[in-house]
Amino acid sequence: MTRHRRTWLSTSCVQIVKNKLYMKNLLLGMGLSLLAHIMIWFQANLQFFNTWAKNNTIAIALIFAIPISLCVIKSTSFLVAHFDGLFWPGRLLGFGMGSLVFATLIYCIMGEGINMKSFISILLSIAIVLIQIFWK
């Protein structure tokens, strides 16, 4: 009985550690993807509300290039690990998150409203993100 209890306990502990690592990969992957999409948005759109950025597009490209690349590379690594070696779920998750970041920043910073077509597209992006996270 004692041996069985130890085996069950050690199996439970291993499972808890695996679950934490599993969620850690998802959260780190999503966090880095979110950060990358925010930087990408500023890299592309800073020219429309900052004179220096408009006149120095090469500098903006160089400033953002390495941080964006590193975030995307590490995000991909974490998401592929989370999804057991599959690439598509992380790609679709990134696509959905990118659409949500774009919509949020366009509305908050540029003041551009959201029409019905854009609203439906945002809902579809949310659906894509939720499917990738919760559908096993």
Mean pLDDT of the chain: 89
98-107 pLDDT tens trace: 999 999 999 9
Which pLDDT does position 86 carry in this prediction?
95
In this prediction, residues 26-32 reach a mean pLDDT of: 96
- Report d(CA 78, CA 58) in Å as an integer: 30
Instruction: Say if CB 30 and CB 93 are below 8 A apart.
Output: yes
Which pLDDT does position 22 carry in this prediction?
74
Residues in the chain: 136
41-86 pLDDT tens trace: 999 999 999 999 999 999 999 999 999 999 999 999 999 999 999 9
- Report d(CA 126, CA 19) in Å as an integer: 24
